[in-house]
Amino acid sequence: MSPDPFASAPQPTPAGRFVEVWASPTVLMTFDGRVLEVFGFTDANRFHLAFSPVVTFSEKRAWMSVKMDVSGTLTFPYDAARRPELDGFAAIVAAAVAARDRA
């Protein structure tokens, strides 16, 4: 019997559910433990956990970025009042990346 290839997959989301947060009235971010998605632009943007997505915030103005370790950065404005929820979302993504790196 071959080993389960998903046995070490990170499980940062509660009960395997999607985590969703609105960055603004028109930008929705979701994370299922493997893929971070950003909706609200011409195309949906997807960032797979394998490429170590990092969510960061500008300290000068209400802009945030999703960056991968291999290429590309998506930067967009967010509602400052939503920052606590967005910080929590960023922490969940960071925990998933860290768990994957330890595996």
- The H helix count followed by the E strand count for the chain is 1, 7
Is residue 1 situated within a structural domain? no
Across the chain, which has 103 residues, the per-10-residue mean pLDDT values are: 46 63 96 94 91 94 93 93 96 91 77
Q: How far, in Å, CA of 84 to CA of 42, rounded?
A: 26
Residue 52 is predicted with a pLDDT of 94
Residue 3 lies in a domain: no
Give me the pLDDT at residue 35, please.
Answer: 94
Q: What domain range includes position 74?
A: 14-102
* 79 in any annotated domain: yes
The tally of domains found in the chain comes to 1
**Confidence at residue 8, expressed as pLDDT on a 0 to 100 scale:** 44
Q: Is residue 4 part of a domain?
A: no
Give the pLDDT of residue 79.
Answer: 96
Residue 43 domain flag: yes
Question: How confident is the model at residue 64, as a pLDDT?
Answer: 97
Q: 40 in a domain, yes or no? A: yes
Q: Fill in the DSSP letter of residue 11.
A: -
- Domain harbouring 55, CATH code: 2.30.29.30
Q: For residue 6, what pLDDT is reported?
A: 45
How many CB atoms are closer than 10 A to CB 11? 10
Residue 1: per-residue pLDDT: 47
What was the pLDDT predicted at 13?
Answer: 53
Asked, for residue 80, whether it belongs to a domain, the answer is: yes
CB distance 14 to 7 below 8 Å: no
Half-sphere exposure of 94 (CA within 13 A, CB side): 9
